[in-house]
Chain A
Amino acid sequence: MSASAQHPTHPETLSEHVQDATGESVFNCYQCGKCTAGCPLAAEMDFAPNQILRLLQLGLPGMEEEVLKSLSIWLCLTCETCAARCPQEVELPKIMDYLRQQSLKRGLVHPKARDILAFHQAFLDSIRKNGRLHEVGLISAYKLRTFHLLQDVLVAPKLLARGKLSLLPHGIAGKADVARIFAKCAAADAEAGRHEPQTDKAEQP
């Protein structure tokens, strides 16, 4: 059904990689803007959701990098509102996931997104270590990554007071299994990465 499915565009374009990885074609978007109109964070984004798709559609030199460098892809909450209302049934959240992974892989993460990224990484670390999330561990790890040492110092005691923070992590028996899962996925990801064009190469005219 997707336009690009029938007429493949230049195979090295990011839009093509999006299609391969997510099955979503950015060319189905006809720029009505309904996604942006309903997006909870559109106002805070550097590119509105429909503009992210527009950049991918046009794909002139530099545009793909703009997308991967954008803050928008990191602000996306994957709340699925856009997808639910899109007249052309574009699964934008799926695309955003892919773009974030690429942005990270190509080292193009927006400076302002580092906190978000740091949180996600701290989150995953915590799971890799314990198999489950250890909130205190998470928060402190996050603080160390971001140096937001004072943020939420007012919240933590509240939690503690209400017996919501367990200072010791709940390790699970399958810790090792989970760690192995992480290792394998990381490896698979790196493997896939080799097939991804490096941005600088892709940008060469």
Chain B
Amino acid sequence: MKVGFFPGCSLEGSAREYNESLQAIAPVLGFELSEVPDWNCCGATAAHTLNHKLALALPARILALAEKAGLTELLVPCSACYTRLAATRDELIHDEALRRDISSIIELPVTGRTKVLNVLDVLAACASDGLKDKVRKPFAHKVACYYGCYLTRPEKLASCKRAEDPQEMDDILRLVGAEPVDWAFKVECCGAGLSVSRTGSVAELSGRIVADAADRGAEAIIVACPMCHTNLDLRRDAITEKRQTPYSIPVLYVSQAIGLALGLSPRSLGLHRHHVPVRLPERPAPSPEPALQPSGPKED
């Protein structure tokens, strides 16, 4: 299937391995990414903090370009970008006047007809499309699936069903042989936008997340958001300092974990770009077929 693609700024810089891994798994999983031509930044937290209009106009331009390119669905891998685009689309659809105002600002017609998807939406589609059979080297590791804020909140934009204990990523990773742990910080905030301006606070918040994941015996934290990745991976030294304990647990993008399961090379997935080295205990592969448990609460 052909899917529109809006990488977003960080996938060109600090999160380039997210981009690489997505590009790598796409052909294997049988979807083609067609990038929105000449896309701009969504404005992120900065825009909606400082100027409401701008916070709508910037994403609106992206949506408009996507529509112009005839894209019906748009994959937005960065959850921060995703929530901006989804929120904007939602407002555009429900507010005729706003729609006119905004398109006059961006000097492009925009309707909001292009559907905005996050990475889990797309992967879930692949999952039901025989992902399990494409697994070459089961990703047989205990993983802590970290959803963060914008995959589950606000509820009306999120595709995850159980806002406080989402299962979508867990289900996908089970399919590729991983064993998701039941942990407490799946949807806690990592500090996001304050990464640079208040590194201290961020180290505190991200620290709790990393610590809990490690304590529950996870061998890797799986994320779907560049900001989360930055805070959990790049800020690891600050975390270690804050908590006075070294944590070696690596942080992988969901696309990288899947990529490994598909048998792609670590390099092609950009694993070498991580700050925390990705060392995963070798398992006698192929590991015993992990049955797909129904998602849902498990007593811990």
Which residues on A are within 8 Å of B, measured CB to CB? 21, 40-41, 44, 75, 77-81, 83-84, 97-98, 100-101, 104, 115-116, 118-121, 123-124, 127, 131-135, 139, 142, 151-152, 154-155, 158-159, 162-166, 170, 172-174, 177-178, 180-182, 184-186, 188-189
Contact = CB atoms under 8 A, between A and B. Distances in A.
B181 interface: no
Contact of A84 (B48, B154, B199, B237): B154
Among the interface residues B153, B155, B205, which one has the most CB atoms of the partner chain A within 10 A? B153
A78 B13 contact: no
Contact of A79 (B15, B192, B201, B272): B192
Interface hub of A80, A132, A188 (most chain B Cβ within 10 A): A80
A139 B10 CA distance: 13
A182 B50 CA distance: 12
A180 B50 contact: no
Contact of B16 (A21, A81, A164, A180): A164
Contact of B153 (A84, A178, A186): A84
Interface in B36-70: 38-41, 43-55, 57-58, 61
A62 B292 CA distance: 59
Given A166-B13, A177-B106, 19 more contacts: A78-B45, A80-B153, A83-B154, A84-B154, A84-B155, A101-B49, A104-B50, A115-B198, A133-B10, A162-B274, A166-B12, A178-B40, A178-B58, A181-B61, A181-B105, A182-B54, A185-B53, A185-B54, A189-B54
In this complex, the member of B149, B155, B237, B272 whose beta carbon has the largest number of chain A beta carbons within 10 angstroms is B149
B38 A119 contact: no
Contact of A152 (B47, B196, B201): B196
B57 to A, nearest CB: 5
User: Which of B43, B45, B49 has the most CB atoms of chain A within a 10 A radius of its CB?
Assistant: B49
Contact of B198 (A116, A120, A154, A174): A116
Given A77-B192, A165-B13, A185-B57, A127 B40 contact: yes
A44 B194 CA distance: 13
Contacts of B234: 155, 158-159
Given A79-B189, A100-B50, A181-B105, A131 B194 contact: no
